[in-house]
A and B are shown apart, each in its own frame.
Chain A
Amino acid sequence: MNNAEHTSFVRPKDSSLSKRGNRLAVLFFVILIVLAFLPVLLVIMSSVSSEDSVAQFGYRFWPKEFSLEAFRYLGKSGSTIPRAFLNSVFTTAAGTLLGLLIMCPCGYALSRKEYSGRKGLMIFLMIPMLFSGGLVSTYMVNTQILHLKNTYLALILPGLCSTWYLMLLRNYFMTSLPDSLVESATLDGAMPFQIFRLIAMPICKPVVMTVAVFQVFAYWNSWYPALLYIDSNHSELYPLQYVLMNIERSIQAMIRDSQYLSGMNTYSPPSITLRMAMVVIVILPIMILFPFFQRYLKTGLTVGAVKG
């Protein structure tokens, strides 16, 4: 399962594609990935264009005039963006770690045959997949009973766990952790929690990483909880995604900030390229981390395919 990367491709002599067929297929996919990448490329190129050239010629794949003024402006524009960036980093780290702390032990317990509540717990976890209370009651419960409105917890808690990840963890623990290992550890007098921490976790690192990767992306990309639970007078809690969503208002705030910082000396921000620069700040971490994360994605998918 771990060597999915080595087995997932066909050697040329085994492939059903002829040489000519292969060339055509490659050509087809080259065109496809260029098309698929164009929207992202357009955003990146626009962010390094000069404001004047965009105003005159529009967003272009190859700007008439390169300029980093949008990024420079972001750097000088006071605390809005750095604060939002830190908020995003914080919620991402906290949500991912806390979620793993809750889900890993539970997934391990679900995988052990000697745990008697296994069946019941499985059903308990499956029901929310079939039936949910819907947005209205979720919103009412989170705001009126749990009092999450305008707190960091509103951005972290609702996405903490998911039945999917629990099943993923359970399946991996079931297939990769030999029963004999757990049994002999029990005979040696190890407590269940010791076995989990010292034996199960190290063996199952790949799947834990997979869940972590999915959660990191989910939290980094999350804007919906902020839309629901954070009011506009608590903008110090905004994650980066939500600032970007409210870009018009954010740009106003930045102008105010920079006027405040630089006295009366006002100069109009490069507002057309500014929004694209903010998009780039959000996607850059994703694009940099993506190649490293990609292999864990596959581990998750191959394990997820095991039904149980």
Chain B
Amino acid sequence: MTVPAIVWFGLFCYLPLFGIFFAFKDFTPMPGRSLLYNLFVKSPWVGLRNFSYLFRNPQSLNILGNTLFYNAIFLVAGIVIPVFLAVILSEIHQKKFSGLVQMVLVLPYFLSWVIVGYCVYGFLATDQGQINSLLQVFGEEAVRWYQSPQYWRVILILVGIWKSCGYSLVIYLCSITAIDRTLYESASLDGATFWQKAWHITLPMLRPTIATIFILSIGSILNSDFGLFYQVPMDSGALQEVTQTLDVYVYKALMQQANFSFSSAAAFLQSAAGCVLLIVSNLAIRKVDKDSALI
């Protein structure tokens, strides 16, 4: 029963794993020969040279900085905002209304980045965009959004939160549902206010869920959502300085410059850092609170 799944994981997960070698080789594809021959026989070992190129490239620091900056913000906002909303929403009296809120907020999660890109475009288009029309009503100059990098950190963060917040909200809401209601009843008898109950009951009970999500996001700290940074700014060159993250860079190095060694070194770094961080943060959390650890 497990054979098809094993075959699939072998072909699509384990076969690419030997691509780690790309990062330590000077790979040049030769037509007419198989990939394995080119990689193992034709390409010379270069040790860590690909990595030193990567770190000497002046762009790299900027790219790495962007990736870490956005991920740090999403890590914090992706926990604080949905938890805050879920705590309030779980106590709302009108059940139907709560269902409606969840439905509307989770909808963006199921739209593709292409669609999200156009939703944003409706607001930011230079000639027809909603925001420029509004600016003109107030007698302000129209802004060429897709040429103005200074606004895009905020825009990307807002869009990222808009898309993912609803889904996390539903996850936390499900965990809150599992909390024993008698805890709240006895707290009410002792005269606890809403915020006291949220702080002393709901948050501690949510700790395992929060820890799980935290560990998983730490593990992907060097990965970024390619769609958000490529699709939403419509791949605008003028915005590169604030929108280019490691994933976008790897994609461009591979597809536009056919620079294999370079981009695979970056990809290796991503994978390795993620793996190490995931294990470390899991260990750290296990030290603090054994039940919250993932593995």
Contact = CB atoms under 8 A, between A and B. Distances in A.
Interface of A: 4, 7-10, 12, 14-18, 21-22, 25-26, 28-29, 32-33, 36-37, 39-40, 42-43, 46, 54-55, 57-61, 101-103, 105-106, 108-110, 117, 121, 124-125, 127-128, 130-142, 144-146, 157-158, 160-161, 166, 192-193, 196, 217, 220-224, 228, 241-242, 244-245, 272, 275-276, 279, 282-283, 286-287, 290-291, 294, 297-298, 301-302, 305
Interface of B: 1-2, 4-6, 8-9, 11-20, 22, 34-36, 85, 88-95, 97-98, 100-108, 110-116, 118-120, 122-123, 125, 127-130, 132-133, 162, 166, 170-171, 173-175, 177-178, 181, 184-185, 188, 192-194, 197-198, 209, 219, 226-227, 231, 247, 250-251, 254-255, 260, 263-264, 266-268, 270-272, 274-275, 278-279
Contacts of B219: 130
Contact of A301 (B170, B188, B192): B170
Nearest to A28: B88
B231 A245 contact: yes
A291 B102 CA distance: 11
B108 A138 contact: no
Contact of B89 (A14, A29, A221): A29
Contacts of A125: 5, 9
Contact of A279 (B107, B118, B250, B275): B118
Contacts of A33: 100-101, 104-105
Residue of B105, B192, B279 with most partner-chain A CB within 10 A = B105
B271 to A, nearest CB: 5
Given A22-B91, A39-B108, 11 more contacts: A16-B198, A25-B92, A29-B97, A37-B107, A121-B2, A134-B266, A145-B34, A161-B9, A241-B114, A241-B115, A283-B115
Given A33-B104, A42-B130, A135-B251, A286 B1 contact: no
Contacts of B173: 8
A25 B91 contact: yes
A59 B130 contact: yes
A58 B129 contact: yes
A117 B2 contact: yes
Contacts of B91: 10, 15-17, 22, 25
A297 B170 CA distance: 9
A4 B174 contact: yes
A124 B174 contact: no
B5 A166 contact: yes
Contacts of A276: 118, 122
Given A29-B92, A134-B264, A290 B174 contact: no
B114 A12 contact: no
Contacts of B177: 4, 7-8, 302
A132 B184 contact: no
A17 B93 contact: yes
Contact of A101 (B4, B110, B254, B264): B4
Given A134-B16, A286-B111, A302 B174 contact: yes
Contacts of A138: 12, 16, 19
Contact of A102 (B4, B102, B118, B255): B4
B92 A22 contact: yes
Given A106-B1, A221-B110, A282-B115, A134 B19 contact: yes
A219 B201 CA distance: 40
Closest 6 CB pairs of A and B: A137-B19, A134-B267, A133-B16, A221-B112, A106-B5, A128-B13
A254 B97 CA distance: 43
16 contacts: A8-B177, A16-B91, A26-B97, A42-B130, A58-B129, A58-B132, A59-B130, A133-B16, A133-B267, A135-B254, A137-B19, A137-B22, A282-B114, A287-B107, A301-B170, A305-B178
Contacts of B102: 294
A134 B1 contact: no
A105 B2 contact: yes
Contacts of B197: 16
Nearest to A216: B110
Contacts of A16: 91, 184, 188, 192-194, 197-198
